[in-house]
Amino acid sequence: MSGPVSTKAPGDPAGKPIGVFLLDDHEIVRRGIRGLLEAEPDIRVIGEAGTASAALAIIPGLRPDVALLDVRLPDGDGVSVCREVRSRAPEVACLMFTAFSDDQALLDSILAGAAGYLLKQIRGSDLVGAIRIAASGQSLLGPRAASRLIARQRDASGKHDPLARLTAHERSVLQLIGEGLTNRQIGERLFIAEKTVKNYVSTLFRKLGLTQRTAAAVYAARTFDGRTSEPGPNMSGPRR
């Protein structure tokens, strides 16, 4: 007879510990979380980063069981990182970690495939428990609550100007996306760096609930059609 098949889940004390990746732009926060998690016998922090670009360069190859992602980052946002990680390494469970309660960010997290949305005010024991739940393949985002949130967001979008949440820069970028310009061409038109354009695109996608550039172009064409051309921000020369 063949031996029994192992069914140990990630984090089983007798098996492989839960591998966690930390993304937060504050080193002191990462150190605190690392100390908290590594005090647990079934959890090990296997990597960390302070920027979205660094995280995306590491996570797909590292394949942690759980990625704890700060929502607000200096070069992007954690929701975009979650979306990219889930597309390249769907077995990685992503937990969004933020100091701000934001319905739009929560909705975007759900759409990006996050396993949970946690506030930084959470107790340490609850954070550890959430990581164990995510590592087991379960979601901390209830489908009923998600449905109510989506319905509320749809109702709100029907009552207010959808562009009201965008800054002048973001409106200008969206309008130029609708004209079919690339990020580089937009940067040349607005006298800003291509990397800055990418950040604006990422932010306006999050605010409008968009995930693809084609959808953004269609959205822009429909939104700006018939309106007076949106005035761009006052930029008289190149910016760093």
Q: The domain spanning residue 48 has which CATH number?
A: 3.40.50.2300
Last residue of a domain, one of 120, 149, 178: 149
User: How high is the pLDDT of residue 101?
Assistant: 78
Which of 198-203's residues contact partners 24+ apart within 8 Å by CB, and which partners? 198/76, 199/75, 199/76, 200/169, 200/170, 200/173, 201/173, 201/177, 202/76, 202/77, 202/80, 203/77, 203/170
Parallel/antiparallel/unpaired status of strands 18-23 and 66-70: parallel
Asked if residue 217 belongs to a domain, the reply is yes
Angle between helices 168-178 and 183-190 (to 10 degrees): 130
- Give the count of domains, the chain: 2
Same domain, 92 and 210: no
Same domain, 141 and 195: no
CATH code of the domain containing 173:
1.10.10.10
Domain interval for residue 193: 168-224
Least confident of 16-20, 64-68, 80-84, 218-222: 218-222
Q: Region 202-230: what's the mean pLDDT?
A: 77
pTM score, whole prediction = 0.60
Asked if residue 89 belongs to a domain, the reply is yes
Sign of CA dihedral 171, 174, 175, 181: positive
pLDDT of 31 over the 60 cut: yes
Q: Region 75-79: what's the mean pLDDT?
A: 90
Parallel/antiparallel/unpaired status of strands 72-73 and 116-119: unpaired
Same domain, 95 and 184: no
Same domain, 133 and 181: no
Same domain, 121 and 204: no
Asked if residue 231 belongs to a domain, the reply is no
